[in-house]
Chain A
Amino acid sequence: MSMINDFVVRFANVNGTGSASANYLFAKSIFRMGIPVSPKNIFPSNIQGLPTWYEVRVNEKGYLGRRDGVDICVSVNPQSLKQDVACVTPGGYFVYDNTKPLAAEFIREDITYLGIPLMATCNREYTDPRQRQLFKNVMYVGALSALLEIEFPVLEDLLAEQFAGKEKLIAPNVKALKLGIDFVQENFTYPLPMRVERRDLVGNHILTDGNSACGLGAVYAGATVVAWYPITPSTSVAEAFHDYATDLRIDEHGKTNFAIVQAEDELAAIGMVVGASWNGSRSFTATSGPGVSLMNEFLGLAYFAEVPAVLIDVQRTGPSTGMPTRTQQSDLTLAAYASHGDTKHVMLFPSTPTECFEMTADSFDLAERLQTPIMIMSDLDLGMNDHMTAPYQWDDTRTYDRGKTYSAEDLEAITRYGRYLDVDGDGIPYRTIPGVHPQKGSYVVRGSSRDEYAVYTEDSAAYKRNMDRLAKKWETAKTLVHAPQRYQEKNSQRNGVMFFGTTTDSAQEALDILKEQGYGLDALRLRAFPFNTTVAEFITSHDRVFVIEQNRDGQMRSLLTNELTVDPSKLISVLNYDGMPITAHTITDQILHHMQSAQ
């Protein structure tokens, strides 16, 4: 059986031992050989000493979703031996450190064991304890490169890039690679049936993670005030913004054209965003579900007082603390209606790092255009894992849409400024930035009811007029947010599927599998909430629509039935909520089960 460019490798490591960079070296080398690759970190909520895994799917058809079954497991963690041996599919390989012999209980008849004396070799070759640890990792990458025929010059280039400026580290790393290669060449039959072969399938794509992309998108969008509170898995958004901005946003006096504050909690983080946005800066925060729970109060204020805000929610497994280092799409209903009273919020659903970049950049335009919070609904899988994705693009003629804002000149021409007057009939009023004019344009923003001129009122008619205008603004939002992606010119099938965010990769693979089995399905990828008219049309034109999502309660399905006039019985949930990224087979199993039982 040959499995060229189509297999899964899982590395079983102890966290805090420096395995991440070696594992990344492995994944990147395959990417550099022109083969689509999708690495996923499966890590504990811990800093040192617990099991951590890194799974790399290599697939020349370009399927980038997670796949069940491990073809090669590289085991360097005695703690997780039992489950690591068990995870290998029959016919697969178990690569392990045989410095100490493997106990009989871990021997299976249906897999091949490849023992490499990683610890013994590194103890012999290196004296520094830290180096012994680190080079064990590089050595297994070397061994794999021989077993899988990864081109050695590719690895050498990557090491040279990684250690640019620290060149003396290159030679010992290359040496560790060779220790692995030599051992394989002397002791095993190689290459394995599963191996790589150079292709030209990557094009000009890049390999990066969604959180970096969000941070970079915010830099490009002109965000100047960032307030955040550390929380997995969103922390690296603020860090990416910091790193990119430190590189790209220093003025001629060496001062920063941005400000970042690590707030005392999420309440304060979003409060700072609201304050900065009110005062005319583009501002954002990044958080995860527990943070969004805390931010509800300010989200309600920003909705009602009509202050722009951008919130990047990198979702993790809830409820409560849940599984902080596992993925889910389970903040949808929380975010959609965050805060008390009649509130609704705009959400965007990126599915790739490229879209994280674009949607983050767009979200600042939308936030200022609509004068309301915009939430980017990313997740741990998208945010923290590297993805092969289209290159970032920017049009230098693009200008920021600062929305409806009166300048001093505009105010001169107005007899009486009304902050909440619906001048244009689209529900969006004109705002002014503090300090704009000596006599005109000032008002008090508040979360309490006010009239069109921002004067506090408890008059029922004025309150209702304002709420109705906000509802009208919501209708306007439907025309401004990202339209769904359709995968066919016209709907020709009786059944359809809907999905969004990180479900996309596996959903597309599932559609191909189902098609091969004779089940054709039309597909639509949701990209924003509120839903525009295309979404209702898609549901109406199909007998059944499978809604694929990564939560227990079918939250997107709830939003669809809540917001659209559609028959709820047409919408069938396809769910994955174990904290691991959804696989194509999870989807096909559920859809087939339904199709077959419905026949």
Chain B
Amino acid sequence: MSYVRPKFRHPLLPTNDLGYTASDYEGSLSTLCAGCGHDSISAAIVQACFEMNIEPHKVAKLSGIGCSSKTPAYFLGQSHGFNTVHGRMPSVATGANLANRDLIYLGVSGDGDTASIGMGQFVHAVRRNLNMVYIVMNNGCYGLTKGQDSATADRGSKSKAGSVNPFESIDLCGLALELGATFVGQSFSGDKTQLIPLIKAAMNHIGFAFLNVISPCVTFNNNVGSTKSYDYVRQHMEATSTMDFVPMQTEITATYDAGTDAAITLHDGSLVHLHKLAEGWDPSNRMSAIQALQHARNDAKVLTGLIYYGATDTELHEVLNTSDRPLNSLKENELCPGKAKLEEINKGLR
């Protein structure tokens, strides 16, 4: 059952420019296990949308099947949502996006939903540069069916039952980079100072924005020996940088050290400031990003932050040259060629 959250609000809750409080971006009460990383990610989505003054009804949230895919019910209660079938969120998001290019598409998936059953659709959404945010809540296991290894479980990682995963893991960020993703980030559900600006930047990106968020499963994969446990990730995280997201038309007050910082301008003029860049890593260079991921993998580190950002590729609507107006808003007079034209067509077939 989904429980509806009480409507009571403290009168002094701060509001954003649209007059919404952060609670206006919440959904119904989560039914996930207490301490689940996914709930932290939902909270980060709520906070990011609140701070960015996003109109909730202008967001369409989509998911597949699994624990992670339940979360759209738990955030943005005023947004339309589609909890699709297992591994097929990307295709539904593609169709939805083609129908109305004016909404923000927020896809939520899990490691099973993306890296196994949904791999076929995931890779094609990336290579089409579909304009959406795609968040994988990655816990390395199938939580809803009680803890089987997923394809992102690291080789050698130990399950709660004590078995050791013998297979190589799929690195979703590396894969997204290979496929030409234009925005690739990685984070940890327990690090909201990094996660919130990453989500904000992703939502401002035009094109496919991919976020792989390590999100420990407290019930089935939080044991000693697991490489997706809270303790392990905290101990092995290596931030590529710390970051700030600066929305368009906001005065920049902070000062940044030349040489160790990088500023990235998103399509709409917003800025992402990255501080304390890791040595030898350039977030605007795909090769450098791939290399950084490979190094981290070799060193058993979890590289986090904005891994890669590239502004050049065109998103799907531009490739298809579709109308600037949402296709779902077009009416008969714009869509139906009419009787006279049909007579001409008939004539050509006689």
Contacts and interface: CB of A to CB of B under 8 A. Distances in A.
Contact of B330 (A204, A224, A279, A443): A224
Nearest to A447: B85
Interface stretch (B98-106, B224-232, B250-258, B307-315): B98-106
A143 interface: no
B330 A257 contact: yes
A165 B346 CA distance: 21
Interface stretch (B34-42, B76-84, B166-174, B185-193): B76-84
Contact of B99 (A269, A280, A457, A458): A280
Contacts of B123: 264
B96 A251 contact: no
B94 A434 contact: no
Contacts of A432: 80
A207 B335 CA distance: 25
A400 B332 contact: yes
A567 to B, nearest CB: 40
Contact of A276 (B84, B99, B316): B99
Interface stretch (A82-90, A388-396, A492-500, A549-557): A388-396
Nearest to B24: A439
Interface residues of B, number: 64
Interface residues of A, number: 74
A438 B85 contact: no
A394 B338 contact: yes
A197 interface: no
B60 A256 contact: no
A268 B91 contact: yes
Contacts of B73: 444, 456
A75 interface: no
Given A257-B334, A276-B99, A456-B2, A438 B57 contact: yes
Interface stretch (B6-14, B43-51, B211-219, B317-325): B317-325
Interface string A264-303: 1101111111111111110100000000000001100100
A263 interface: yes
B90 interface: yes
B322 A272 contact: no
A272 B105 CA distance: 14
A442 interface: yes
Contacts of B350: 204-207
Nearest to A248: B337
B95 A435 contact: no
A400 to B, nearest CB: 6
A207 B350 CA distance: 6
A264 B82 contact: no
A276 B60 contact: no
B91 A271 contact: yes
A259 B88 contact: no
Interface in B104-134: 120-121, 123-124, 128
B328 A259 contact: no
A35 to B, nearest CB: 14
A266 to B, nearest CB: 10
Contacts of B324: 253, 255
A570 interface: no
B282 interface: no
Interface string B1-30: 110100000000000000000000000100
Contacts of B28: 455
Contacts of A437: 57
Contacts of B146: none
Interface in A538-586: none
A258 B320 CA distance: 9
A534 interface: no
A444 B100 contact: no
B161 interface: no
A336 interface: no
A432 B60 CA distance: 13
A216 interface: yes
B6 to A, nearest CB: 16
Contacts of A264: 120-121, 123-124
Nearest to A445: B82
Given A259-B327, A265-B120, A442-B77, A225 B99 contact: yes
A260 B94 CA distance: 11
Contacts of B85: 297-298, 301, 447
B72 to A, nearest CB: 6
A404 interface: no
Contacts of A403: none
A199 interface: no
Given A265-B120, A279-B95, A435 B88 contact: no
A261 B2 contact: no
B57 A442 contact: yes
B330 A445 contact: no
A260 B93 contact: no
A347 interface: no
Contact of A257 (B90, B93, B327): B327
A227 interface: yes
A486 interface: no
B81 A278 contact: no
A517 interface: no
13 contacts: A207-B349, A220-B337, A257-B327, A269-B91, A276-B99, A280-B99, A281-B100, A298-B88, A434-B80, A442-B81, A444-B82, A445-B82, A456-B1
Interface of B: 1-2, 4, 28, 55-58, 60, 62, 72-73, 77-85, 88, 90-100, 102-103, 120-121, 123-124, 128, 316-317, 320-325, 327-328, 330, 332, 334-339, 341-342, 345-346, 349-350
Interface of A: 204-208, 216, 219-222, 224-225, 227, 248-249, 251, 253-261, 263-265, 267-281, 283, 297-298, 301, 391-396, 399-400, 432-439, 442-448, 455-458
Given A279-B95, A435-B60, A448-B83, 20 more contacts: A208-B349, A224-B98, A224-B99, A255-B322, A255-B324, A256-B323, A261-B128, A263-B91, A271-B94, A272-B98, A273-B95, A278-B95, A280-B100, A281-B95, A391-B346, A394-B336, A399-B332, A437-B57, A446-B82, A456-B73
